[in-house]
Amino acid sequence: MLKRLTRHPRFLAAMAWLLGLYIALIHRTTRWTLVGDAALETMRARPGTIVLSFWHERITLGPRPWLDIIRHIPELRPKRPQVLVSRHRDGVFIGNVVARFDLDTVHGSTSRGGSQALRTMLRILRAGGVVAITPDGPRGPRRVAAPGVGQLAAVSGAMVLPYAGITTRHIRLHSWDQMVVPLPFSRGLMLLHPMFTVPPHAAEAGRAAVEAALTEACEAVDAWAAAIRAGGSGEAELAAVRAIARRAPPAFPDRGSAGAAPPAAFSGDAA
């Protein structure tokens, strides 16, 4: 009986409303620090197609950077990021949550509908839109990017923005992704990794670059939060975060390099 209740559409809609309300509370009660001047300058110079990317474990913090970005770059305000979510009821649930933050959803997953979802997202990007992907979602492995993000970036030519955030007060769930659940009335740090484009022939290298950038960003902001929780100032860790944000974008192999075959079609599924 209880299992059927928790799967009922009305129950899930109510829970999505409550979770969205909670995330909004987190946004308003957290003292945020945004680090990512280089990424912001890139978007000011080229306010076009963008692939937002973050690990599934940070999905509760996923909407936050866009709110900061459109505050700094008003030209991007009319764009509503399209978030890739699974066709499973969990994906529908997430879609109902993110709708509160002016985000729309594209349905697809690594198991069903992924190739079609990638084509839909490619059309969005070619029209000048913004999409958001959790490359290890919806079921992992944790912090392993699926091929879809590299293929999408390579075919679209869009700028890729990997990012990660953390709050000093949070809990981690015992889920496959060790999801972070932020707690209110804390300090928060959001790192925008330097943006980059993926050449058409370097889809796999692009996938690896996204994976490396996201993991590095998560480890850097987590080190800052751990230092604060341990009673430190976090200044050294914050300096390390700022150094990452100023770094040059990754370089990609030349067209003639081994393993740099062009993605003639979407051969994999979206994350």
Cα 147 to Cα 120: distance, rounded to the nearest angstrom:
16
User: Residues 16, 85: contact at Cβ < 8 Å?
Assistant: no
For the chain, give the mean pLDDT.
86
**Section 187-197 average pLDDT:** 97
Beta carbons within 8 Å of 59's beta carbon, 6+ residues apart: 94, 134, 137, 179
Question: Residue 269 — very low, low, confident or very high, per pLDDT cuts 50/70/90?
Answer: very low
Q: Where are the beta strands (DSSP E) in the chain?
A: 31-35, 50-53, 82-85, 104-107, 130-133, 159-167, 170-172, 180-182, 187-192
**Section 169-179 average pLDDT:** 95
Q: Looking at domain 31-246, which of 3.40.50, 3.30.40, 3.40.1130, 3.30.70 is its CATH number?
A: 3.40.1130
Cα 51 to Cα 177: distance, rounded to the nearest angstrom:
21
pLDDT digits (tens, 9 = 90+) for 87-106: 666 666 777 777 777 788 87
Which of 102-111, 117-126, 199-208, 228-237 has the least mean pLDDT? 102-111
Give pLDDT, residue 257.
55
pTM, to two decimals: 0.88
Residue 233 has pLDDT above 90, yes or no: yes
Question: Residue 150 — very low, low, confident or very high, per pLDDT cuts 50/70/90?
Answer: very high
